[in-house]
Structures are given as C-alpha cells and as structure tokens.
Structure 1
C-alpha cells in the first residue's frame, strides 16, 4: 500500500497540486495504527491510506488541510484517553508528522527580449521552473535560454489561455510591444496565479487596463496586476529591472516586507 500512496503523492505534484503525507512517528500503548503508518491527504480532504480511523483520523485530515493551505509542515500529538481532546479512549498516545509536498514554483515569462532573458537567468538561479513564451523562435538558443524548462513558441496566445496556471504560477509579461502584452494579459486574467506583472509606463498600463475593462474584464481582476512591474530599486539597466521584478515576486511568494532587516532585528551594542 505504501508504494501506491507515494505514487499518489508524486502524481499530484506532477499535476501541479499540493498534497500532504501524514506519518505516524511514535505509537505508545493501545492505538488504532502503529509507527510507520502513512496516509496521503489531498487539498479537498480526499485520502489514501490510514493513520487510525475515527476521530483521530478526522482530526489529522483537518490539520493536514490547514497545513496545505498555509504551506507549512507540522508535528502532532494525540492522547487517546480521558485527558485527550478527541473523544477516543484506546489508552495510548500517537505522535506524527505532516509533510506538505508542493509542485515547483513556475515562472512564466512572456517575452524573450532583453528583460525576459535577464528575468529567466535570475529565476533559474532561484530554482523556479521556467517557461518562456514568444513566437520569435530565433531567440530560443543556448546563448539566451540555456536549460529552459519549457518553451511556447507556436500559437502563443491560445496556448497561454489553455496553459495550467495555479497558485504556484508567477507570470511576467514583458513582450515586444503593447499589443502582445495586451494579448498575454487577456490570456491569463482571471486565473489563479499568485502573481501577474506587466512591464510598461503608467500611461501604457492605464491604456491596456481600460481596453480590457471595456472588453468585460472586472476592475478587481485588473487591479490585482502588478503594473508597472517591479520594485522601485533599479535603473534602466535590464539586469537591474529583472532584479526589481524578481524582488517583487519573492516579496509576494514569501509574504515578506519592504523593511530593512537591520531595523527589524537590531543588534544591541
């Protein structure tokens, strides 16, 4: 059974879904399941395997779903007696660990020009699964995009519309002109991406948003777009612009702040 559970974990990650693996690490006295028992818990609460049944398993499933939602791992400890809180009186104790498995974070870069290349370089160093979208096939070579994970160069707008985008997706729109940027934004609006950013001046951004607003996209959807893109830390240099973009993405991804660590964690002299 263990191999089936582990395959389920792998298949969910491959499909871009998060899943939790629950393991009993210690079992003392009389308990429903013993040390080493495992169970996979999906985002919707569906399970494979068992770590006890009844109240204890239901409680663990709820905790595993919380861990998936919060992106955290967690130890658990249940007393199965009168001192416990789940209404089971087997007499023993159970300890375990919930491990959340998440798919690789995807960095989807629309545009293979100067900015896109630098965003790709930094994103690769940061461990993102990189996807580059551009119909200029001549740009896809080892000089500009060595070891890129995915390339979309045909029917780019339609493929971007149908591409699987979820909360593990971070999208950077920096194509060759306003029209291409508009097409890309139109293709990804309303999807469950954690981040959508578009390059351009405030004037251009307003023009694109107003155009899509007239097409029926909601104001709320458009306001979620980070545009103009990036943190205000760079010059006009493409490398620095890319750092500003990835800095903004990391800020969102890691729920960070723009405060200096020296101000948050001052060392006392």
Structure 2
C-alpha cells in the first residue's frame, strides 16, 4: 500500500499514532538538506513500515525507491541514520546514486520506531518469575499466562504488563500474537507444554521465537507426538530445549540462558543453542 503526496503535520501525527497503537515498526524518512536542483525539499517526509507500506513522499522517482530500501535496512539494524543521495548520473555505480539528472543531492534522516517486543510467557513458576526480572522493561512487554490464579497474579509477577488466568488451549484458540512476538513455554507440567506448543503449531501462529523447556528426551517425545498428529510441520522458529548452554540449573540460571538466547535470536548471533531442532 502506498499513499503518495506530501504529509502535513496532522497527517504525520495521526499515522504515527495508528502505527504505534498497532505495534507496527516503522521509519520516518525526512529530507533535512538539499543542494542544487532536487524534486524533494527540506521537510518532506515519508513513513515506511516494516512490511514495506509507505505514506507521504521525499520527492518521488528513483530516490524514493532508494529511501524505501534503506529505511527497511536501517529498521532491521535498529539504527537511526543520515544518508545523502546523488541526483546525477556521474556516479552510476554508487550505492546512493539515483541515475536521475536533476544535478543536485538530497540528505535524508532515517528515524527508527520499534515498539516493545511482546513476550508471552506460558507458565508462572520460578523460572518465569526470574525471567521477567531479567528482561529489560524498556524493550519487552511481558504477558504472563497460567491456568492457576495464584501463579498468574500481579503480586507474584510485578514486572509483567498483563496477567492472564485461563486454560492454555482456550487462550490460544482465537489468539493472534502481535508482530514480532516471542513465546516462552515453561508451564508446570509436560502435558501443558505440549498443549501450548501443539496449538501454536496447529494454528501456525506467527511468533518470531518459540522456546520450550524440557530435557532432550522429553522434547523429542513431544515433537514425535506432534508430528504424528499434525504431519510435516514448520519448526524453524522453535528452540527446544530452550536456552543457550551457559551451565547451571537454578531458576535464575535457566532464566539467564533463556534471556541470552532471545537476544541472540533477535540479533542473529551464532551461540551454543541447546535446541535439537
């Protein structure tokens, strides 16, 4: 979807409000400086979402295509950036060359907006409590789900943003995760871990990361059971046994290994995962 044309301040405020409300990552590209003949002028703005939708304009033409490309790159890298684009044909192989014949250049500032990542933690036990204390509040929005009232309560989970007491399968039957969400499956029983993972896979819920606790033997048994019931399933996002190999077996040590794995997955780092899939 592309909405061309110059955005006024109210258009920008309204669009930003809607994107933030819907937890959609986006970039504001603003022309901050021009030199010579250019179609875009200082103050022109374009909003580019993580899915490639655009609103507004920085001048049109090839330069706008390059701005869209770079916005998505900087969004992926989570970095604000200023970049200059050459609007002549003297440097056709340059990364910022547009091939246009205007003869000037445009400097664009890219401002990254990334919402808090939702982390759905299934199970409110000791590992869950330790994990929510470790995860940075400014980066993650934590949802605790447990089928026991006392283990989904705010007093037990003061760092969580939402507290849900419901049977896991019932909660997941009409559930849709926010964009870029993580799922951590650490319930109080192997049967419940299976129920949660089965529903996530059966409904093909779009989590960026799915971690499930358990020994390698139990994890393999769970996967065999799911494959027998559901057939060939996509396990690309599944990390089980959950965590990276840091050593230790206490709740806080397990929580640390989970948090480290979540960060490694986010930044695409090679680490010693304990997963068997």
> What TM bracket, shorter-length normalisation?
0.7 to 0.9
* 1:204 maps to which of 213, 218, 236: 218
The alignment status of 1:65 with 2:72, answered yes or no, reads yes
**Match of 1:267?**
none
Alignment of 1:169-208 (within 5 A): 169-189=181-201, 190-208=204-222
The alignment status of 1:242 with 2:249, answered yes or no, reads no
Q: Which runs of 5+ in 1 are unaligned?
A: 260-269
Deviation at 1:7, TM superposition (A): 2.8
Deviation at 1:232, TM superposition (A): 2.2
**Match of 1:253?**
266
Alignment of 1:115-194 (within 5 A): 115-124=127-136, 127-165=139-177, 168-189=180-201, 190-194=204-208
**Match of 1:31?**
38
* 1:76 maps to which of 83, 89, 106: 83
* 1:97 maps to which of 109, 127, 140: 109
**3-state DSSP of counterpart to 2:235:** helix
Cα distance in structure 2, aligned partners of 1:195 and 1:132: 16
Deviation at 1:13, TM superposition (A): 3.1
**3-state DSSP of counterpart to 1:208:** helix
* 1:13 maps to which of 10, 13, 20: 20
Larger CA deviation: 130-139 vs 233-242: 233-242
Deviations 1:178-198 (A, max 9, x none): 111111111222333221111
Larger CA deviation: 103-112 vs 185-194: 185-194
Kindly report structure 1 stretches of 4+ aligned residues shifted beyond 4 Å. 69-72
**3-state DSSP of counterpart to 2:245:** coil
**Match of 2:244?**
231
Change beyond 3 A, Cα 1:152–1:258: same
Cα distance in structure 1, aligned partners of 2:76 and 2:170: 31
Change beyond 3 A, Cα 1:217–1:242: farther
Aligned length: 258
Cα distance in structure 2, aligned partners of 1:217 and 1:17: 33
Deviation at 1:60, TM superposition (A): 1.7
Deviation at 1:71, TM superposition (A): 4.2
Deviations 1:180-235 (A, max 9, x none): 1111111222333221111111221111111110111435x236421111122232
The alignment status of 1:54 with 2:65, answered yes or no, reads no
Q: Which runs of 5+ in 2 are unaligned?
A: 1-7, 92-96, 273-277
Q: TM-score, normalization: structure 1? A: 0.85
**Match of 1:265?**
none
Deviations 1:236-262 (A, max 9, x none): 211111111111111111223449xxx
Cα distance in structure 2, aligned partners of 1:238 and 1:43: 36
Deviation at 1:129, TM superposition (A): 0.7
**Match of 2:118?**
106
